[in-house]
Structure 1
Amino acid sequence: MAGSRKIAREFTLQGVYAWLVGGADVTLIIANLKDDEQFKRADETFFRTLIHGVIKEEDMLSSRISPLLDRPLAALSPIERGILLIGAYELLHCPDVPWRVAINEGVELAKKFGGTDGHKYINGVLDKLAQDVRAVEIAHARKPRAES
Structure 2
Amino acid sequence: MSRKRSGKRPENPFEPRSRARRRALQALYQWQLNDDSASSIIHQFSEEQNFDGVDQDYFETLVREVVARRDALDEALSPYLKRSEAGVDQMERVVLRIGACELLHHPETPYRVVIDEAVELAHRFGAEQAHTFVNGVLDKLASEVRTLERQVEEGGGRV
TM-score by length of 1: 0.92
The alignment covers a number of residue pairs equal to 144
Query: Following TM superposition, by how much is the alpha carbon of 1:74 offset from its aligned partner in structure 2, in angstroms?
Result: 3.0
Q: Secondary structure at the match of 1:132?
A: helix
Unaligned runs of 5+ in 1: none
Root-mean-square deviation (Å) = 1.2
Match of residue 56 from structure 1: 68
> Rg larger in 1 or in 2?
2
Question: Identity of paired residues, percent?
Answer: 39
Paired amino acid for 2:35? G
User: How many Å separate the matches in 1 of 2:43 and 2:49?
Assistant: 12
Give per-residue Cα distances to partners, 1:32-79, cap 9 Å, x unaligned.
211345323210111111110111011000001011001122321111
User: How many Å separate the matches in 2 of 1:28 and 1:55?
Assistant: 12
Match of residue 86 from structure 1: 98
Whether contact under 8 Å (1:62, 1:73) holds in the other structure is no
Which protein is richer in helix relative to its size?
A: 1
Whether contact under 8 Å (1:73, 1:81) holds in the other structure is no
User: How many Å separate the matches in 1 of 2:86 and 2:59?
Assistant: 25
1:98 equivalent to 2:98? Answer no
Paired amino acid for 1:38? N
1:121 equivalent to 2:133? Answer yes
Q: Secondary structure at the match of 1:20?
A: helix
Q: Secondary structure at the match of 2:65?
A: helix
User: How many Å separate the matches in 1 of 2:86 and 2:147?
Assistant: 28
Q: Secondary structure at the match of 1:40?
A: coil
User: How many Å separate the matches in 2 of 1:19 and 1:6?
Assistant: 20
